[in-house]
């Protein structure tokens, strides 16, 4: 949940992490939108070797110009017009999931029964992989997301590589078929854009690892925030899109982002030398009191200011619009159908350096 922000140094050195930590909004924006920073483990001598065995076309780990080329090819799938066409399918998924909620009794785990199911079903729909594909994705996604942990150990990354290989083996025949006989699904759109089979698989792996996890976290933490502040629920119904922006700012699904300096920089009064590690503390950045008045207060009617929950610059999350739409369709329907919804036990927060999310959220109808 929200903590009070007390910005002292917008950029500071952390001895334990052997990295500079950025907590200032303006300083983080400068990094995310600027040049001379890398996300590519191949350029970072400190990156674990096993990380380089992940699919080579995962956008998250690419720098321009390769990143620019692939992003341009996939971007049409996430335009506002494309997302509007997808909205009825998202609504159908949300309604189907909520239809089955509390089917086995008045208490359930909202993370398992809603937050994780909805983005998984949406991705399966987008890729048109059927029930078999959804089952593969559900089994392998927990392993895939380990690649995104800031302090991932060799075991975590080996599990990510193994999960990526399982997903790749499932997807490759589908990718080959869609290249031969395209439909109207996401994979066919990538094929029509001119991507190679390897690039398409990498894009699907990223969609699973990033898109599923962040959306599930947003739905889960957003629900808990509203259950903790029920007087805010009318504002959710009044303007779901605005409400989601405030939930993203205060309860964003990602805690940290990392960059590697490939040039010397001056940032926040500090000299950052090439070869330095940089950690962006997104939770503190989005509570920077220089930018957000009373930053620790949840206010769904707050006049939205751009935040960095989805990053910025050339690595701005491509699926941000999809995540926003899923949350804006899910949360009002959840609280509309179950107006007496309440927490039924102690929520269990996820043990993660990267993700701000819940493992369990027991609720009562």
* In the chain, domain spans: 36-252+293-360
Secondary structure of 2-38 as H, E, C letters = CCCCCCCCCEEEECCCCEEEECCHHHHHHHHHCCCEE
Structure tokens at 340: 């007496």
* pLDDT for residue 50: 53
Mean pLDDT value across residues 303-329: 90
Structure tokens at 192: 């029509």
Taking the C-alpha atoms of residue 293 and residue 302, their distance in angstroms, rounded to an integer, is 10
Flag whether pLDDT at 1 surpasses 50.
no
Phi, psi (degrees; rounded to nearest 5) at 249: -65, -45
* pLDDT for residue 64: 66
Spacing of C-alpha 83 from chain mean position: 17
In this structure, are residues 94 and 70 in contact, taking their beta carbons and an 8 Å threshold? no
Taking the C-alpha atoms of residue 125 and residue 115, their distance in angstroms, rounded to an integer, is 16
Mean pLDDT value across residues 337-354: 94
3-state secondary structure of 320: helix
In this structure, are residues 320 and 210 in contact, taking their beta carbons and an 8 Å threshold? no
Mean pLDDT value across residues 290-299: 94
Question: Residues 335, 337, 339, 340: is their CA dihedral positive or negative?
Answer: negative
Mean pLDDT value across residues 117-138: 92
Report pLDDT digits (tens) over 19-74.
999 999 999 999 999 999 988 766 666 665 555 555 554 545 566 666 677 778 88
According to DSSP, the residues that pair with 109 across neighbouring strands are 362
> What letter does residue 232 receive in the DSSP assignment?
G
Burial of 289 (C-beta count, 10 Å sphere; 0-12/13-18/19+):
middle
Helices (H), 296-357: 320-337
- What is the widest separation between alpha-carbon atoms in the chain? 59
In this structure, are residues 317 and 216 in contact, taking their beta carbons and an 8 Å threshold? no
Q: Which residue would you say has higher pLDDT here, 312 or 332?
A: 332
Is the bond into 224 cis (omega within 30 degrees of 0)? no
- Helix (H) or strand (E) segment spanning residue 97: helix 80-99
Confidence of residue 88 (pLDDT cuts 50, 70, 90): very high
Task: Tell me the residue length of the chain.
Answer: 365
* pLDDT for residue 5: 44
How high is the mean pLDDT of the chain? 88
* pLDDT for residue 44: 64
Q: Which residue would you say has higher pLDDT here, 71 or 99?
A: 99
Q: Which residue would you say has higher pLDDT here, 79 or 156?
A: 79
Q: Which residue would you say has higher pLDDT here, 190 or 335?
A: 335
How many C-beta atoms lie closer than 10 Å to residue 66's C-beta? 14
Integer angstrom CA distances of residue 314 from 80, 121, 202, 259: 18, 28, 18, 13
Phi, psi (degrees; rounded to nearest 5) at 364: -120, 140
3-state helix, strand, coil in the chain (%, to 5): 55, 10, 35
Mean pLDDT value across residues 202-228: 91
Mean pLDDT value across residues 142-170: 84
Task: Give the highest mean pLDDT range of 197-201, 216-220, 301-305.
Answer: 216-220
Confidence of residue 136 (pLDDT cuts 50, 70, 90): very high
Phi, psi (degrees; rounded to nearest 5) at 347: -60, 145
CATH 3.50.50.60 fits 36-252+293-360, yes or no: no
> What letter does residue 303 receive in the DSSP assignment?
P
Taking the C-alpha atoms of residue 33 and residue 207, their distance in angstroms, rounded to an integer, is 22
Question: What is the Cα Rg of the chain in Å?
Answer: 20
Is the bond into 52 cis (omega within 30 degrees of 0)? no
Q: Which residue would you say has higher pLDDT here, 41 or 246?
A: 246
Which residues fall within 8 angstroms of residue 8, CB to CB, at 6 or more apart? none
In this structure, are residues 246 and 221 in contact, taking their beta carbons and an 8 Å threshold? no
């Amino acid at each position: 949940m929200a903590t009070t922000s007390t910005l002292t140094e917008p950029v500071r050195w952390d001895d334990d992490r052997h990295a500079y930590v950025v907590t200032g909004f303006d300083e983080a924006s400068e990094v995310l939108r600027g040049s001379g920073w890398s996300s590519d483990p191949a350029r970072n001598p400190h990156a674990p070797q096993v990380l380089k065995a992940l699919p080579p076309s995962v956008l998250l780990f690419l720098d321009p110009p390769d990143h620019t080329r692939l992003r341009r090819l996939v971007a049409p799938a996430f335009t506002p017009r494309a997302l509007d066409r997808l909205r009825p399918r998202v609504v159908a998924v949300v309604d189907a999931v909520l239809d089955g909620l509390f089917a086995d009794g008045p208490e359930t785990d909202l993370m398992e029964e809603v937050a994780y199911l909805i983005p998984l079903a949406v991705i399966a729909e987008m890729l048109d992989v059927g029930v078999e594909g959804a089952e593969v994705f559900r089994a392998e996604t927990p392993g895939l997301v380990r690649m995104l942990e800031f302090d991932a150990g060799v075991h975590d990354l080996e599990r990510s590589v193994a999960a990526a290989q399982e997903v790749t083996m499932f997807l490759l025949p589908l990718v080959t078929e869609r290249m031969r006989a395209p439909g109207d699904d996401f994979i066919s759109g990538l094929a029509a854009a001119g991507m190679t089979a390897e690039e398409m698989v990498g894009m699907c792996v990223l969609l699973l690892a990033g898109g599923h996890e962040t959306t599930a976290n947003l739905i889960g933490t957003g629900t808990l925030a509203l259950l903790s502040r029920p007087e805010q629920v009318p504002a959710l119904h009044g303007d779901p899109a605005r409400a989601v922006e405030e939930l993203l700012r205060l309860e964003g699904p990602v805690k940290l982002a990392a960059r590697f300096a490939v040039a010397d920089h001056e940032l926040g009064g500090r000299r950052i030398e090439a070869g330095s590690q940089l950690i962006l503390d997104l939770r503190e950045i989005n509570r920077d009191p220089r930018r957000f008045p009373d930053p620790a207060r949840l206010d769904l009617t707050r006049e939205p200011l751009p935040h960095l929950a989805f990053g910025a610059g050339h690595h701005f999350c491509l699926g941000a619009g999809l995540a926003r739409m899923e949350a804006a369709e899910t949360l009002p329907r959840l609280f509309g159908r179950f107006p007496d919804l309440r927490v039924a036990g102690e929520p269990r927060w996820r043990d993660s350096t990267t993700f701000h999310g819940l493992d369990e959220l027991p609720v009562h109808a």
